[in-house]
């Protein structure tokens, strides 16, 4: 009997304390700003320098460029850009090295799918992953590819 009363006392005491659990996935979980989540890619800013693919420790970035459609402009524009999230370790190196912030981290982390093939994300998917971009990148003033610095 004493044990029951003691147990109830502990239950009642803890009921008044603030909750430490979340109703995930019913309520979205917002991660801290420095969280290393799934990347957002902006093709307009990419200068096809290949630095992100070169530094990637797991070789999960594949990209191709094509000649700039404007004959007045030099250099290339991005044609395809894919990340294989089967092997991406979200280490942040690709975003750190990108000179134009074409690839940046977001706080998004949900990648659960039924097929491994679906973990291969292309340029459009990465471009549309444009929510919860890390705040230091969402206000960047870096020039767009072929454009002038502000």
Binding to ligand SF4 by residue 137, rule CB under 6 A? no
Binding to ligand SF4 by residue 126, rule CB under 6 A? no
31 with 82: CB under 8 angstroms? Answer: no
Is 60 assigned a ligand-binding role in the annotation? no
Binding to ligand SF4 by residue 111, rule CB under 6 A? no
Q: Give, as ranges, the residues between 41 and 100 that touch ligand SF4 (CB under 6 A).
A: 46-52, 55-58, 60-61, 63, 83, 88-94, 97-98, 100
User: Which residue, 15 or 89, has its beta carbon nearer to ligand SF4?
Assistant: 89
The helix or strand, by DSSP H or E, that contains position 63, with its residue range, turns out to be strand 61-67
Helical H segments across 1-150, by residue range: 2-15, 51-55, 93-97, 123-128, 135-138
Binding site for ligand SF4 (CB under 6 A): 46-52, 55-58, 60-61, 63, 83, 88-94, 97-98, 100, 102-103
Residue set of the binding site for [4Fe-4S] cluster: 46, 49, 52, 56, 88, 91, 94, 98
């Amino acid at each position: 009997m004493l044990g029951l009363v003691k147990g109830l006392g502990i239950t009642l005491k803890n009921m008044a304390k603030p909750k430490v659990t979340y109703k995930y996935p019913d309520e979205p979980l917002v991660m801290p700003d420095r969280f290393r989540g799934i990347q957002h890619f902006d093709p307009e800013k990419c200068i096809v320098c290949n630095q992100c693919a070169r530094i990637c420790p797991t070789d999960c970035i594949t990209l191709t460029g094509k000649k700039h459609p404007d004959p007045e402009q030099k250099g290339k524009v991005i044609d395809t850009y894919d990340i294989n999230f089967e092997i991406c370790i979200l280490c942040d190196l690709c975003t750190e090295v990108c000179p134009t912030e074409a690839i940046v981290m977001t706080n998004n982390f949900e990648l659960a799918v039924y097929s491994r093939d679906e973990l291969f994300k292309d340029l459009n998917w990465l471009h549309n992953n444009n929510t919860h971009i890390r705040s230091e990148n969402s206000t960047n003033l870096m020039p767009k590819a072929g454009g002038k610095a502000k």
